[in-house]
Structure 1
Amino acid sequence: MSGGLTRLLRRSPRAAAGGGLLLALVLLALLAPVLTPFSPTAQTFGPWLQPGGVHPLGTTPLGQDLWAQLVYGARLTLLIGFTAGLVATAIGTALGLSAAYFGGRTNEAINVLTNVFLVLPGLPLLIITSAFLRGGGVWSVIVVISLTGWAWGARVLRAQALTLRHQDFVNAAIASGERPARVIFAEMLPNLAGLIAASFFSTALYAVLSEAGLAFLGIGDVSQVTWGTMLYWAQAKGALLQGAWWWVAAPGLGIALLGTAFALVNFGIDEVTNPRVIHSVKATRVLRSGRRAQLAASGAQGLMDIRHLSAGYLTPQGPVRAVRDVSLQVAPGEFLGLAGESGCGKSTLAFAATRLLDAPGVVFDGEVRLKGLDLLDLEPDALREVRWKRYSLVFQASMNILNPVLRVREQVYDAMQAHGVHDRARLEARARELFALVGLREADLGAFPHQLSGGMKQRVAIAMALALEPELVVMDEPTTALDVVVQRQILQEIDAVRRRLGISIVFITHDLSLLVEMSDRIAIMYAGEVVEEAPARVLYAAPHHPYTRRLMSAFPALDGPVERREGIPGRPPSLAQDLPYCPFFDRCPSRMPGTCDVDKPARVEVAPAHSVACFLHSPAVKKEEAHAAD
């Protein structure tokens, strides 16, 4: 537990700063008897003493030590903040999740109750309720603030939980027979952790400020020592008129520091639990070693040149290296297929190479050059200029990128307008040309996304990727969600467009049979590495790597006798661990103990344009480079 907290603070400087500040304030409260020998209510000193000596903040007109009041007042102030925050957050979370999960009349009743509390003015409600509970001490203040501060948190949590309630994983849990409590606490609640934390910290700060406001107005229990009652007595005794500004400044600064600590910890929790909140507008983080200069000097040969690229994800448990020292070239006008089973690093490679790998994803090392331009060196603004004009992307299930409330025409225009094309006639002419290229009618430009089929929406996404005539289009399993007939139609159209426009295509899929027919060249990935690369027909006729042969044999022939097909036994190794040996060793039917489990095979050319990383074809051993930890 302590190790996880340490990693959290190390990953988030904001959380570390906020946690340190909050810890200092808590220690100030807990160590009050050590920090001062005086009682905060003892009237044993001279009035209006100046700060200094045994009285760091001076004394009140009644002879009370202000430093003692500050450190002891922190106790009740923090108690009010934390307790009221916890109670109000618990109420808001329970009501918000109940409304979202149960729906119907439960949802309506909770929604009405929440709206009533939101409509009622907060401060007057606090004042009236406090007046009735006056004399109840600090706990009456906590009760009042808790009962008036839960509504905003409940409203926000209900809205987010309603979205979660209709997610597939929640529906699957319900369909499998899980009880409501299990679905709410195990399936939904963890996804709302960041939001609940934000609700707690904002409510805790609201509680501290509310107590200070009530005390300042003289409505709270001013016989107690809190930062709020210090402000009350300061204004009641005319501290500023006497020049004793520190009497006001000290508790005010304490409240400000507490609010800052809550905000920083909240930001840190957001950064750790949902890194996209902080990094969504930034380009992929790049951490590269000194080998970069050596790579740059070697020069690039293809349209896109990927050299020794290593990428993955920084997690609290350590780095996950989903792409490991991959080198690939894409020639002008080429159709390059990238195949491998799910989880082998294909999509990570595509997103890392195109600088779209969101946090916590990072590039650890290597180069990606597009006609000599190092994409990993570009600043976000420069990258935005290059992206879509010189290369574009079609994402997996990319039909979901269409905005449901905008007509298709406006969405096709967007990329062109972002790159300086604003003439309406040119936009319309280009949109019609693109739709003709991908086999759609001009009338479909005026449709909303819900009026199009899945295959039509996929064609729209491809048309948008071609809008600015890029030299390269990266397609990450763009037809996975479609039936096989539509898949084949779209692939044929993609290939026809590629030949007509002379563009290059990198097509990523786990379906090797699709690539053999369409691709000029195929690269096979396994456990983050390219294990074999060859022209498509050569690879189909004579696959060399045992993994490639297993992939090829997993697909049945369209004719001939019926045969039993088997998958590949076992599972890929964890990409969170180092793999100084052949990653396919545990699943390989041709493995050589003492060799394959000791060294990693180097990728060597066994025939013209045909390379493979396997000791069955070459004894060459790959030299492993040292990895950066973060």
Structure 2
Amino acid sequence: MNGALTILRRSPRATAGAVMVLVMMLMAVFAPLLTPYSPTSQEYGAWITPGREHLLGTTALGQDVWAQVLYGARTTLLIGIMAGLIATLIGTSVGLAGAYFGGRVEDVLNVITNVFLVLPGLPLLIIVSAFVRGAGIWSIILVIAFTGWAWGARVIRSQALALRNRDFVQAAIVSGERPGRIIFAEMLPNMAGLIAANFFSTALYAVLSEAGLAFLGFGDVSTVTWGTMLYWAQARGALLQGAWWWIVAPGLLIALLGTAFALLNFGIDEVTNPKIVHSVGATKVLRRRKKERAAPAPTGTPALLSIRDLDAGYATPQGRVRAVRDVGLDIAPGEFVGLAGESGCGKSTLAFAATRLLDAPGAVFGGESVLAGQDLLDLSSEELRRVRWKDYSMVFQASMNILNPVIKVREQVYDAMQAHGVTDRAQLDARARELFRLVGIRESYLDAFPHQLSGGMKQRVVIAIALALEPKLVVMDEPTTALDVVVQRQILQEIDAVRRRLGISILFITHDLSLLVEMSDRIAIMYAGEVIEEAPAKVLYADPKHPYTRKMMSAFPPLDGPRERREGIPGRPPPLSAELPGCPFFERCPSRMPGKCDAHKPASVELSPGHRVACFLHSDAVKEFSDAAD
């Protein structure tokens, strides 16, 4: 029940569809209260036009059309709902069983499904209906259900096959769970949205099929449905007599019912898989206005990327989750900036929000992200498409998995260049070979498929693609996490060499501070959505100021010196759904000052050139909150 209410709250389409279906169901249930006439009585005079006595006029036989509409809703809705339920049950059972058990079970079920898929739907319905004609409404329901389940079975099987190979299902199998529990407790809940969408699609198919069969005279025309109303209207020549109301009323209601089912289907897709709606668009920006800010103090080199008061996160039914909280960060041309912090501290959200790559339900609530003089948060989707990969590019976490397994590496390297106007094959080939030499891969691997490359080689390919158009900025989100330490070091050295050769800027996100200290020009430390310390890499390593930074530094054992015990950081980060009036590290800090650190948020102050820290141990300055998200 809560899930249905969530769908209605979050999707205007689903709400509109549910209201339309509810109105039709109320019409069916309260038909005796809405009309005093019987739908089959022929006592009211033929061809009476709509008026006060007969709202929708009468038929050629003197039947009240409004009464037939109300009572016909009962049968039409019953056919749609029951046929949809039966077909969905069959399709779900066949799809799940074939995907889970595999082998001969899957082969047999696939053959049966394919047979029903290749048989033409309407002719099959007509043939079967001709044999059961006059057998009652349930025969029509069963005929429609048994001829309409196959497409849903194919879709559910495809999704179930993907789930079958997921780690959590494999873990359930290894732990000894029975197949029934795995299917119903592990797999089925992950497919609830797809199954619900399949039900509404099948219910719509059932309503339209019944109307088509009735119109052709193959249904039970003695029963009042919206479809049989159309049959009798055309049989009696309603349009020739000018009795348009006899055809318009049931035809319009069938169309509205189909629209309602389609809206519910779209609404479920929107809520259960928001990427369907937002995957091709840019990150939603919810800021209402820009606030005039004082110009930053002049520095020797203007920033390539200037992030100011960035406030971003996720818009959920329970409220906003602010994963990035009023963050400011500058990256100079040619600079290698490292971004470190615990899992869940907002590093990736910061990078994706600043570059407008944060997927729904992610959104930017306020602030600015100015790259080379233009605010990325102000650009349209088309403007962003022209900027991406040309001015900035991305190397995603575990990005070796983003290569398409059925397309050769060469074509995937070409894609970004072709999207930005490079069409000459000789030029594309020369640039691809140059990129492979740049990242240390033999040129012959351009004609390989991704599965023919090792993990480290695939990672280099992705980095080469990111460098294809020589962007000013490359954002790397833990690109070497899945690789062994030797390959990690090789790739990082190559990245640094390419950066120095091409003069590009890099924002590198990782958990490994030891890597950042060696490779970065400057390091920013994030905690609970805030940048709490920022300094040149060597300065941060030699003299970390924030207690959190010192704790992180001490968690990594040195390679030489006396053996000593290392400890983690006790406690856990605060939930990002909560507002934090004070220092976010207060609960875990060994140097906390109750009454001060938990009541006021420390401002970020510069202790030495380029070294900023937000901690009351070093300054009493209190942060002034921005209203960028207002």
Same fold, TM-score > 0.5, yes or no: yes
SS in 1 for 2:337: strand
What is the Cα deviation at residue 558 of structure 1?
0.6
Residue in 1 that maps onto 2:275: 276
Tell me which moved more, 494-503 or 483-492. Answer: 494-503
What is the Cα deviation at residue 296 of structure 1?
8.7
What is the TM-score of this pair, normalised by structure 1? Answer: 0.96
2:243 counterpart letter in structure 1? A
Change (3 A) 1:30 1:333: same
Give the whole-Å Cα distance in 1 for the aligned partners of 2:141 and 2:426: 64
Give deviations 1:368-401, integer Å, cap 9, x for gaps: 0012111111111111111111111111111112
Give the whole-Å Cα distance in 2 for the aligned partners of 1:469 and 1:484: 27
Residue in 2 that maps onto 1:294: 292
Q: Please tell me whether residue 528 in structure 1 is matched to residue 548 in structure 2.
A: no
SS in 1 for 2:220: coil
Residue in 2 that maps onto 1:486: 487
2:110 counterpart letter in structure 1? N
2:367–2:628 contact (8 Å) kept in structure 1: no
Q: Which runs of 4+ in 1 moved over 4 A?
A: 4-7, 296-300, 625-629
Give the whole-Å Cα distance in 1 for the aligned partners of 2:147 and 2:35: 36
1:212–1:228 contact (8 Å) kept in structure 2: yes
Residue in 1 that maps onto 2:394: 393
What is the Cα deviation at residue 423 of structure 1?
1.8
Give the whole-Å Cα distance in 2 for the aligned partners of 1:525 and 1:202: 47
1:237-386 equivalences in 2 (<5 Å): 237-290=236-289, 292-295=290-293, 301-386=302-387
Give the whole-Å Cα distance in 1 for the aligned partners of 2:531 and 2:243: 73
Give the whole-Å Cα distance in 2 for the aligned partners of 1:148 and 1:184: 25
Residue in 2 that maps onto 1:444: 445
1:580–1:624 contact (8 Å) kept in structure 2: no
What is the Cα deviation at residue 30 of structure 1?
2.1
1:382 counterpart letter in structure 2? E
1:109 counterpart letter in structure 2? V
Give structure 2 stretches of 5+ with no counterpart: none
1:318 counterpart letter in structure 2? G
1:400 counterpart letter in structure 2? N
Give deviations 1:101-152, integer Å, cap 9, x for gaps: 0101110111111112223332233233333333332222112211111111
2:391 counterpart letter in structure 1? R
Give the whole-Å Cα distance in 2 for the aligned partners of 1:219 and 1:72: 20
Tell me which moved more, 353-362 or 216-225. Answer: 216-225
Change (3 A) 1:6 1:163: closer
Give deviations 1:204-228, integer Å, cap 9, x for gaps: 0111111112222222222221101
Identity %: 75
1:533–1:611 contact (8 Å) kept in structure 2: yes
Residue in 2 that maps onto 1:465: 466
2:315–2:361 contact (8 Å) kept in structure 1: yes
What is the Cα deviation at residue 254 of structure 1?
0.5
SS in 1 for 2:292: helix
Give deviations 1:574-601, integer Å, cap 9, x for gaps: 1112112221122112222222222222
Give the whole-Å Cα distance in 1 for the aligned partners of 2:16 and 2:67: 26
SS in 2 for 1:294: coil
Tell me which moved more, 201-210 or 422-431. Answer: 422-431
1:417-566 equivalences in 2 (<5 Å): 417-566=418-567
1:465 counterpart letter in structure 2? A
2:309–2:628 contact (8 Å) kept in structure 1: no
2:367–2:629 contact (8 Å) kept in structure 1: no
Give deviations 1:218-261, integer Å, cap 9, x for gaps: 22222221101111111222211211111011101101001111
SS in 2 for 1:583: coil
1:8–1:316 contact (8 Å) kept in structure 2: no
What is the Cα deviation at residue 293 of structure 1?
4.0
1:334–1:504 contact (8 Å) kept in structure 2: yes
Give the whole-Å Cα distance in 2 for the aligned partners of 1:42 and 1:298: 84
1:295–1:367 contact (8 Å) kept in structure 2: no
1:299–1:372 contact (8 Å) kept in structure 2: no
SS in 2 for 1:385: helix
Give the whole-Å Cα distance in 2 for the aligned partners of 1:612 and 1:429: 47
1:557 counterpart letter in structure 2? P
2:281 counterpart letter in structure 1? K
1:528-607 equivalences in 2 (<5 Å): 528-607=529-608
2:292 counterpart letter in structure 1? Q
Q: CA RMSD in A?
A: 1.8
What is the Cα deviation at residue 564 of structure 1?
2.3
2:291–2:627 contact (8 Å) kept in structure 1: no
What is the Cα deviation at residue 176 of structure 1?
2.5
Give deviations 1:11-69, integer Å, cap 9, x for gaps: 22222222222222222222222221212112221111111112011111222110010
Give the whole-Å Cα distance in 2 for the aligned partners of 1:362 and 1:453: 36
Give the whole-Å Cα distance in 2 for the aligned partners of 1:64 and 1:622: 77
Residue in 2 that maps onto 1:177: 176
2:31 counterpart letter in structure 1? A
Give the whole-Å Cα distance in 1 for the aligned partners of 2:257 and 2:577: 39
What is the Cα deviation at residue 81 of structure 1?
0.3
SS in 2 for 1:523: strand
Give deviations 1:482-522, integer Å, cap 9, x for gaps: 00000011111111111111111110001111101111110
Give the whole-Å Cα distance in 2 for the aligned partners of 1:178 and 1:627: 51
2:389–2:416 contact (8 Å) kept in structure 1: yes
Give the whole-Å Cα distance in 1 for the aligned partners of 2:74 and 2:627: 51
Residue in 2 that maps onto 1:37: 36
1:16-35 equivalences in 2 (<5 Å): 16-35=15-34
How many residues were matched structurally? 627
1:420 counterpart letter in structure 2? G
1:308–1:366 contact (8 Å) kept in structure 2: yes
What is the Cα deviation at residue 7 of structure 1?
4.6
Give the whole-Å Cα distance in 2 for the aligned partners of 1:177 and 1:349: 41
1:522–1:534 contact (8 Å) kept in structure 2: yes
1:285–1:361 contact (8 Å) kept in structure 2: yes
1:295–1:307 contact (8 Å) kept in structure 2: no
Q: Please tell me whether residue 50 in structure 1 is matched to residue 49 in structure 2.
A: yes
2:291–2:628 contact (8 Å) kept in structure 1: no
Residue in 1 that maps onto 2:212: 213
SS in 1 for 2:533: strand
What is the Cα deviation at residue 607 of structure 1?
2.1
Tell me which moved more, 138-147 or 340-349. Answer: 138-147
2:287–2:628 contact (8 Å) kept in structure 1: no
Give the whole-Å Cα distance in 1 for the aligned partners of 2:578 and 2:109: 48
Residue in 1 that maps onto 2:122: 123
Give structure 1 stretches of 5+ with no counterpart: none
Give the whole-Å Cα distance in 1 for the aligned partners of 2:179 and 2:352: 38
What is the TM-score of this pair, normalised by structure 2? Answer: 0.96
Change (3 A) 1:363 1:187: same
Give the whole-Å Cα distance in 2 for the aligned partners of 1:267 and 1:457: 37
